[in-house]
């Protein structure tokens, strides 16, 4: 049964975004695109939201591929933004959900601040950004980028990120986010499995310091995303060493954003052995399995769906 994640098939892509955050396809469209691209398993990992899970699970069941519920949690380590993938956690866990609310609310006011600054120099208003954001979606710079593109200020998202939306572009505002350590604790507390996303985009010297990585591992960090188009070659060598040394799982993924980024579904994939380990580490999945098949397919439509959709 495709609804049981343990029956997964390869190829496996564990990092994608839908319009619930800053991807351009709905969760349903994304899962159908994943099946069309030949994937056997896809995880939806929208930024700071689980609102796409129900639709994605339903579509996966329709097209006969395995859906892994996930998320990319925003965290901050000093001035550095650190993305943390989270898999198979309880989408009704109170402490985690409360923190996600705070992050999404902070993202919204941060985006308003950036748009107010940009509006002094360019023909751009908050309504333009709202027009490019799905209702209830986690707002990010990509939505501001889309508004700038439609106003003709920049040609595409990448140009916006390279200039006006860059941290040193003159309009940037950081987001509110918990520390990576609190992120790991929250994810584990919700029965989920934390994996550091694209940890080597700034090369081997940009990887989180060893002493702090060890604290994350002690708190339950399970793995590192190794194969990702933005990890550098020397960074990947270092990530393999770290995984060997600390017994971490290594994953590979596309970080697909639909038309919003050049990344293609399945351009990097995760081994079945790595996914087995992630499934085995999920306390939430273990609990759901104990409760029977109903609870697993309950990832699709259940009482908590309304709550996690925030009344949308
Ligand atoms: P934010 O979280 O609001 O600061 O925005 C960061 C998000 O924008 C990340 O999730 C990236 O996937 C996305 N992003 C970063 N650079 C680009 C780019 N050049 N083109 C499109 N999306 C990007
Ligand atoms: Zn993104
Ligand atoms: Fe990321
Ligand atoms: Fe991502």
pLDDT per residue as tens, the chain (312 positions): 347 899 999 999 999 999 999 999 999 999 999 999 999 999 999 999 999 999 999 999 999 999 999 999 999 999 999 999 999 999 999 999 999 999 999 999 999 999 999 999 999 999 999 999 999 999 999 999 999 999 999 999 999 999 999 999 999 999 999 999 999 999 999 999 999 999 999 999 999 999 999 999 999 999 999 999 999 999 999 999 999 999 999 999 999 999 999 999 999 999 999 999 999 999 999 999 888 755 665 454 444 443 443 333
Instruction: Tell me the C-alpha to C-alpha distance, in Å, between residue 94 and each of 35, 49, 52, 76, 307.
Output: 33, 14, 18, 21, 11
Cβ < 5 A residues, ion ligand 2: 17, 22
**What is the structure's pLDDT at 292?**
74
Indicate which residue's Cα is closest to atom 19 of ligand 1.
158
CA of 175, closest atom in ligand 1: 4
Indicate which residue's Cα is closest to atom 3 of ligand 1.
140
CA of 21 to the centre of ligand 3 (A): 12
Helices (H), 39-162: 53-63, 94-121, 126-131, 141-150, 157-162
Ligand found nearest the CA of 114: 1
Nearest one of 280, 206, 212 to 238, comparing CA atoms: 206
CA of 162, closest atom in ligand 1: 19
Tokens standing for 160? 């916006």
Tokens standing for 243? 């995984």
Cβ < 5 A residues, ion ligand 4: 72, 255
CA of 305 to the centre of ligand 3 (A): 25
For residue 86, count CB atoms less than 10 angstroms from its CB and return exposed for 0-12, middle for 13-18, buried for 19 or more.
buried
- Cβ neighbors of 46 (< 8 A, separation 6 or more) are 17, 18, 20, 21, 23, 52, 71, 72, 138
Tokens standing for 266? 């399945």
- Cβ neighbors of 70 (< 8 A, separation 6 or more) are 14, 15, 43, 44, 45, 85, 86, 87, 88
Whether ligand 1 lies within 6 angstroms of the CB of 140 is answered as yes
What is the pTM (predicted TM-score) of this model? 0.94
CA of 295 to the centre of ligand 1 (A): 34
**What is the structure's pLDDT at 302?**
46
CA of 21, closest atom in ligand 1: 10
CA of 7 to the centre of ligand 3 (A): 27
**What is the structure's pLDDT at 295?**
60
Tokens standing for 271? 């081994």
Tokens standing for 231? 């990890």
Q: Would you say 44 and 56 are in contact if contact means Cβ atoms under 8 Å apart?
A: yes
């Amino acid at each position: 049964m495709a609804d049981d994640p343990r029956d997964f098939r390869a190829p496996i892509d564990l990092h994608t975004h839908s319009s619930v955050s800053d991807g351009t396809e709905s969760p349903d469209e994304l899962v159908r695109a994943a099946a069309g691209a030949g994937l056997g398993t896809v995880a939806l990992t929208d930024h700071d939201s689980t609102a796409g899970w129900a639709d994605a699970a339903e579509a996966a069941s329709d097209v006969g591929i395995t859906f892994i519920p996930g998320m990319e949690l925003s965290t901050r380590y000093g001035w550095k933004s650190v993305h943390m993938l989270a898999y198979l956690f309880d989408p009704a866990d109170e402490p985690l959900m409360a923190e996600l609310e705070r992050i999404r609310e902070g993202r919204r006011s941060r985006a308003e601040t950036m748009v107010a600054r940009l509006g002094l120099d360019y023909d751009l208003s908050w309504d333009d950004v709202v027009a490019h954001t799905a209702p209830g979606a986690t707002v990010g710079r990509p939505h501001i980028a889309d508004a700038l593109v439609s106003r003709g200020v920049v040609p595409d998202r990448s140009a916006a990120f390279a200039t006006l939306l860059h941290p040193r572009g003159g309009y940037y505002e950081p987001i509110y986010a918990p520390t990576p350590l609190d992120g790991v604790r929250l994810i584990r507390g919700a029965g989920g499995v934390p994996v550091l996303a694209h940890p080597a985009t700034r090369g081997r010297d940009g990887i989180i310091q060893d002493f702090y990585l060890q604290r994350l591992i002690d708190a339950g960090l399970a793995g590192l995303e190794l194969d990702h188009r933005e990890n550098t070659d020397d960074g990947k060598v270092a990530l393999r060493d770290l995984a060997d040394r600390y017994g971490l799982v290594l994953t590979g993924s596309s970080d697909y954003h639909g038309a919003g980024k050049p990344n293609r579904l399945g351009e990097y994939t995760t081994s079945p052995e790595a996914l087995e380990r992630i499934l085995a580490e999920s306390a939430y999945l273990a609990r759901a399995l104990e409760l029977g098949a109903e609870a697993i397919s309950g990832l699709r439509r259940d009482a908590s769906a309304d709550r996690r959709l925030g009344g949308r």
